[in-house]
Amino acid sequence: MAKLILIDGSSYLYRAFHALPPLSNAHGEPTGALFGVVNMLRATLKAKPDYLAFVSDAPGPTFRNELYDQYKANRPPMPDELRVQVEPMLAIVAALGFPILRVPGVEADDVIGTLAVQARDLGIEVEVSTGDKDMAQLVGPLVTLVNTMSNTVLDHAGVVEKFGVRPQQIIDFLALTGDTIDNVPGVPKCGPKTAAKWLAEYDSLDGVIANADKIGGKIGASLRAALAQLPLSRELVTIKTDVALEVGPTELAQREVDVEQLRELYTRYEFKAALKELDESPGFGSGESGFEKAGAAATAGSLGNEVLTAELSRVGEYELITTQEGFDGWLDKIRDAPLLAFDTETTSIDAMRADIVGLSLAVEPGTACYIPLGHDYPGVPKQLDRD
């Protein structure tokens, strides 16, 4: 059976940015997100899909902003150190031969949803590579999600286990819980467990609305106060599957790899392992690459000790701290240092939802460490206990 892999480019970029400690080349240009994306793309190519596409958001507002002018209004602007990596990322993606899709007026989710449904109807297996929970509404026959951080697959049973509802109920689930990151209004104080409970009892959002008077307590009052806005919330979280596209699933075969362009970009951003791969693999994509040797799932979250330490060490005395002894040594450096730079790596830009993944410390230029605390993927190196 033919297979199509659809890459949620926005998810890739942000997850790579937040999963890795800050990296830069000798000219001070940020490279961390680029480094992570390249590894995730190499893992995709290793799967040798029949069709593939890298889908990202186009600049400008979308139809959801017209529906609700406060949609995503609370999102902070993209960090400058990430913004400057967007164009180089797209250049690398194109040079690797990935078709790139950016459609004005809609989000990447809508383009992915449309292609997923079209491919499914053609009998093509679809794998959506993303970390976005909204995409769970697309799961069904022939359509699965792959979490790019953990390399786990989310099928129908996985959606039920993770969210407590069926894929067909995800839209109503999201409408009830709302989304603080995208500023989608839901039912205040209605969390995932409450939403799943209501949908188990009443099957759908319409069922919940019809039985709102039967739900007691403060949460019932909260539901009744939110009834008027729930249809809007449902519309905001619904992924479109009918976007007018210039290409279809069967037109998304990998393009020719531009080796010289890759060489130029990898040299500029000092991706030594990638450069070595170009030299060792004339066919580029055949055989075991340097990235593949780093792990079968070469995602930003699944970089092993050797790969990550090599990248860090090339620009200064950077240490990966995985032992109490190493941590104690850095505590001594902090006590003696006149200045300290401190940063956290988290799972989200939303401070109310973010979980800490790791800590970065620096006491002088070129002397720093990264302390992983919450990385979670197969083969994860030893990490310090948070306690």
- The predicted structure's pLDDT at residue 274: 82
Q: Note whether 126 and 220 are same-domain residues.
A: no
Per-residue pLDDT at 349? 59
In a domain, 163, yes or no: no
Phi, psi of 235 (to 5 degrees): -70, -35
Measured CA to CA, the distance from residue 26 to residue 355 in angstroms comes to 31
Please identify, among 269, 287, 315, the residue that sits at the C-terminal boundary of a domain.
Answer: 315
Predicted confidence at residue 338, as pLDDT, reads 83
pLDDT in tens, 364-387: 877 788 898 877 654 566 788 776
Contact status, residue 298 vs residue 281, Cβ threshold 8 Å: no
What pLDDT does 307 receive?
Answer: 46
| Segment 49-66, tens digit of pLDDT | 999 999 999 999 999 999
Examine the domain organization and report whether 311 and 332 are in the same domain: no
Q: Is residue 159 part of a domain?
A: no
Regarding predicted confidence, which is higher, 188 or 350?
A: 188
Q: Are 118 and 224 in the same domain?
A: no
Per-residue pLDDT at 316 = 53
Rounded distance, CA 19 to CA 32, Å? Answer: 9
Q: Which of 252-261, 314-323, 348-357 has the highest mean pLDDT?
A: 252-261
Report the CATH number that the domain containing residue 249 is assigned in CATH. 3.40.50.1010
Q: At residue 72, what are phi and psi to the nearest 5 degrees? A: 60, 20
pTM of structure: 0.74
Domain that holds residue 182: 169-237
Separation between Cα atoms, residue 212 and residue 206, nearest integer Å: 10
pLDDT of residue 280: 76
Please report which helix (H) or strand (E) contains residue 128, including its range: strand 125-129
Q: What is the mean pLDDT of residues 108-123?
A: 98
Q: Are 107 and 233 contained in the same domain?
A: no
Average pLDDT across the chain, whole number: 85
Three-class SS of 246-280: CCCHHHCCCCCCCHHHHHHHHHHCCCHHHHHHHHH
What is the pLDDT, as a whole number, of residue 383?
A: 83
Domain annotation covers residue 164: no
Output the CA angle 299-7-23, nearest 5 degrees: 40
Cα(95)–Cα(73) distance, integer angstroms: 34
